[in-house]
């Protein structure tokens, strides 16, 4: 009793159809499983970037509020960030060689 390949394919038609379907959704098309995994990684990366930018925004907003309300904070930023000085003082900038 030798059976042909056609006989086995017909007998296992649901298994063959499922295998073809599984291969198709895993590797082909825009919404394939591989593309979805890559998109999920991209979403996680962008979410962490959003959190970092939000923290930076909050700190800059707080500093801006301090600059608007406190004249001493304005002097501090002018001296530290822009190396400004008053008429009666000298500024020495020391930088590390590592940086």
The whole-angstrom separation of Cα 81 and Cα 67 is: 13
pLDDT of residue 56: 97
Taking CA atoms, 26 is separated from 12, 14, 36, 41, 42, in Å, by 21, 18, 10, 17, 19
In-domain check, residue 91 = no
Domain boundaries, position 11: 5-82
Q: How many CB atoms lie within 10 A of CB 74?
A: 13
pLDDT per residue of the chain (99 residues) written in tens, 0 to 9: 577 878 877 788 888 889 998 888 888 878 888 899 999 999 999 999 999 999 999 999 999 998 899 888 888 888 888 877 777 877 777 888 876
In a domain, 95, yes or no: no
Q: Is the pTM of this model over 0.85?
A: no
Q: Rounded to whole angstroms, how far apart are CA atoms 34 and 14?
A: 24
* 21 inside domain: yes
């Amino acid at each position: 009793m030798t059976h042909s390949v056609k006989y086995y394919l017909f007998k296992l038609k649901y298994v063959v159809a499922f295998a073809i379907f599984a291969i198709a959704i895993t590797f082909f098309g825009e919404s394939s499983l591989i593309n979805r995994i890559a998109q999920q990684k991209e979403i996680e990366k962008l979410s962490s970037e959003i959190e970092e930018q939000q923290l930076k925004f909050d700190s800059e907003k707080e500093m801006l509020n301090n600059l608007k309300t406190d004249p001493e904070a304005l002097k501090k930023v002018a001296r530290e960030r822009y190396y400004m000085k008053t008429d009666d003082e000298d500024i020495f900038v020391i930088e590390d060689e590592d940086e």
